[in-house]
C-alpha cells in the first residue's frame, strides 16, 4: 500500500511539472476533452490545425484512454480533481477549444492567460432548453451549427445584458466527420439511446425494462446505448440491465464511437437525445420519440418564447412519437415509422438549417483569422 501511495504521489508531481512546462511553452492551440466520447466532435478541426500548424496543437484529456493517435498532436492526460483545476488556472494559450458547457460555473474556470475560449458543439440541438441557462455565457467565441443557435445566443445576451460573443457561422463539424465515414448500412437492429437527464426523468428510470422486453418479444435485436453521463452516474442500474437481459438478443453498447450503432439500426428509439438529429439527418432513417418526459435543464427556458428549439421542429416534421400507454404497440409503431418515413425533405432541411453542410472545414479555413488568435 505504501508503494502504491508513493507511485501515485510521484505520478502527481510529474503531471504537475508537465502542466507547468506546457504553460511556459504557451501553445497556440489547446483542445480540452472530458473523455474520449467527445473527440469525434472536434476531430475535423484538430486535423486541420495539426496539418497547418504541426507541433503547435495540444490535446489535453481527463480520460487516460482518450488520445489523438493518428495526427501530429501532442497528447497529455491530466485526469480530474486538483490537477484539472490547476491546469485551467495555470495554462497560457492563444486559443483554447472545448465542448465543455458551463465554463466558470463548475471547477473549470477562466484565467487571464487564455486569449480566446472557443466552444464547439457536441450536438445539433438548440441552446435554449437542454443546456443550463449560463452554459455558454463565459466563452469568447462559439462555432454555431445554424442560424437557430445564433438567434438563441443573441437573444440571451440581450435579455440578461451580456457582452456579445463572437458567433461563427461554421456549421456542425460532426456532420461532415460522419458523412465521410458512412458507406453501407444495415437494418438488423433497433437502437435504443436515451438522453441523460439530471432530473432523472427519462425512460431509463421509468419504463425501460418494459420497452426492451416488448422489443425482444417482437423478435428484434436490440442495441442499448446509454449516454456517457448515465454510465458514469448510474453504474449499478446499468449493471442490473446487463444482468437482466444477458443471453438474450440484447447488446449493451458503451463504445465511445456511435457510428456502428447508427449504421446497423433500422430505427432509433429515444427521448430527447441529440443523436436523434445526427441519425435522422445523415442516415435518413426514422426516429421514434418516447414522449412522456420533457427534458428541461434551463430554468430560464421561458425567456426564449418565439424561438422553437430545432429538435422540436425536427421531431414535428420528421419524427414519430409513443407514450407509456402504447408500449404494447411498439412493433406496429416501428413498422409504421419505417414505411411512412419521408427521406426526400431531409437534405433540403439540412441545407436550410445548418451552415456549410459538407463544407465546414472549408469555411473554417477561409475564416481562420477571424476565429483564432
Tell the residue number behind the cell numbers 445566443, with chain if given: 153
DSSP track, 41-69: HHHHHHHHHHHHSTT-EEEEES-TT----
Q: Which CATH class is domain 16-178+355-371?
A: alpha beta
Sign, Cα dihedral of 342, 348, 352, 356: positive
Helix, strand, or coil here: 273?
coil
Long-range contact pairs involving 153-157 (C-beta distance under 8 Å, separation at least 24): 153/127, 155/303, 155/304, 155/307, 156/127, 156/300, 156/303, 156/304
What are the φ and ψ backbone dihedral angles of 59, each rounded to 5 degrees? Answer: -115, 110
Instruction: For the chain, 373 residues long, give each residue's pLDDT as a single digit of tens.
Output: 665 666 677 787 788 888 889 988 999 999 999 999 899 999 999 999 999 999 999 999 999 999 999 999 999 999 988 999 999 999 999 999 999 999 999 889 999 999 999 999 999 999 998 899 999 999 999 999 999 999 999 999 999 999 999 999 999 999 988 887 887 777 889 999 988 766 555 566 678 889 999 999 999 999 999 888 888 888 888 899 899 998 889 999 988 788 889 999 999 999 877 788 999 988 999 999 987 556 555 666 677 778 999 998 998 999 998 888 888 898 999 999 999 888 888 989 999 999 999 899 999 999 999 999 8
Q: Report the distance separating Cα 359 and Cα 331, nearest Å.
A: 39
Per DSSP, helices labelled H in the chain are 2-25, 39-52, 81-90, 147-159, 173-179, 208-217, 228-233, 235-244, 259-263, 275-278, 310-318, 330-340, 346-353, 360-366, 368-371
Contact 303, 137 (CB under 8 A): no
Q: Which CATH class is domain 183-341?
A: alpha beta
Contacts of residue 335, defined as CB under 8 A and 6 or more positions apart, other chains included, come to none
For the chain, the structural domain boundaries read: 16-178+355-371, 183-341
Q: Report the distance separating Cα 38 and Cα 229, nearest Å.
A: 12
Q: Report the distance separating Cα 104 and Cα 205, nearest Å.
A: 31
Q: Do the two domains 16-178+355-371 and 183-341 of this chain adopt the same fold? A: yes
Cα–Cα distances (Å) from 184 to 70, 187, 221, 280, in that order, read 24, 10, 19, 16
Amino acid at each position: 500500500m505504501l508503494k502504491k501511495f508513493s507511485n501515485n504521489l510521484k505520478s502527481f508531481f510529474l503531471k504537475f511539472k508537465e502542466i507547468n512546462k506546457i504553460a511556459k511553452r504557451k501553445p497556440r492551440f489547446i483542445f480540452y476533452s472530458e473523455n474520449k466520447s467527445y473527440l469525434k466532435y472536434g476531430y475535423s478541426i484538430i486535423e486541420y490545425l495539426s496539418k497547418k500548424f504541426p507541433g503547435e496543437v495540444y490535446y489535453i484529456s481527463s480520460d487516460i484512454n482518450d488520445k489523438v493517435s493518428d495526427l501530429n498532436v501532442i497528447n497529455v492526460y491530466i485526469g480530474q480533481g486538483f490537477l484539472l483545476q490547476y491546469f485551467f488556472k495555470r495554462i497560457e494559450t492563444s486559443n483554447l477549444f472545448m465542448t465543455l458547457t458551463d465554463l466558470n460555473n463548475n471547477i473549470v474556470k477562466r484565467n487571464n492567460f487564455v486569449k480566446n475560449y472557443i466552444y464547439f458543439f457536441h450536438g445539433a440541438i438548440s441552446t435554449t432548453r437542454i443546456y443550463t441557462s449560463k452554459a455558454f455565457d463565459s466563452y469568447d467565441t462559439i462555432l454555431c451549427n445554424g442560424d437557430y443557435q445564433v438567434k438563441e445566443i443573441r437573444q440571451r445576451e440581450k435579455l440578461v445584458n451580456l457582452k456579445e460573443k463572437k458567433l461563427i457561422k461554421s456549421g456542425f463539424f460532426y456532420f461532415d466527420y460522419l458523412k465521410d465515414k458512412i458507406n453501407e448500412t444495415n437494418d438488423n437492429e433497433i437502437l435504443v439511446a436515451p438522453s441523460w437527464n439530471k432530473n432523472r426523468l427519462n425512460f431509463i428510470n421509468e419504463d425501460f425494462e418494459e420497452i426492451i422486453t416488448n422489443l425482444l418479444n417482437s423478435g428484434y435485436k436490440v442495441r442499448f446505448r446509454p449516454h456517457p453521463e448515465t454510465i458514469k452516474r448510474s453504474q449499478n442500474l446499468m449493471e442490473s440491465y446487463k444482468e437482466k437481459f444477458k443471453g438474450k438478443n440484447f447488446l449493451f453498447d458503451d463504445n465511445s464511437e456511435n457510428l456502428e450503432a447508427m449504421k446497423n439500426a433500422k430505427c432509433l428509439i429515444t427521448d430527447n437525445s441529440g443523436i436523434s438529429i445526427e441519425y435522422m439527418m445523415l442516415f435518413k432513417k426514422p426516429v421514434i420519440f418516447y414522449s412522456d418526459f420533457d427534458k428541461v435543464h434551463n430554468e430560464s427556458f421561458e425567456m426564449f418564447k418565439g424561438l422553437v428549439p430545432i429538435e422540436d421542429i425536427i421531431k414535428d416534421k420528421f419524427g414519430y412519437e409513443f407514450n407509456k400507454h402504447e408500449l404494447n404497440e411498439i412493433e406496429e409503431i416501428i413498422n409504421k415509422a419505417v414505411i411512412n418515413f419521408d427521406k426526400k425533405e431531409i437534405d433540403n432541411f439540412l441545407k436550410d438549417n445548418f451552415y456549410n453542410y459538407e463544407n465546414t472545414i472549408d469555411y473554417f479555413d477561409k475564416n481562420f483569422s477571424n476565429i483564432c488568435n
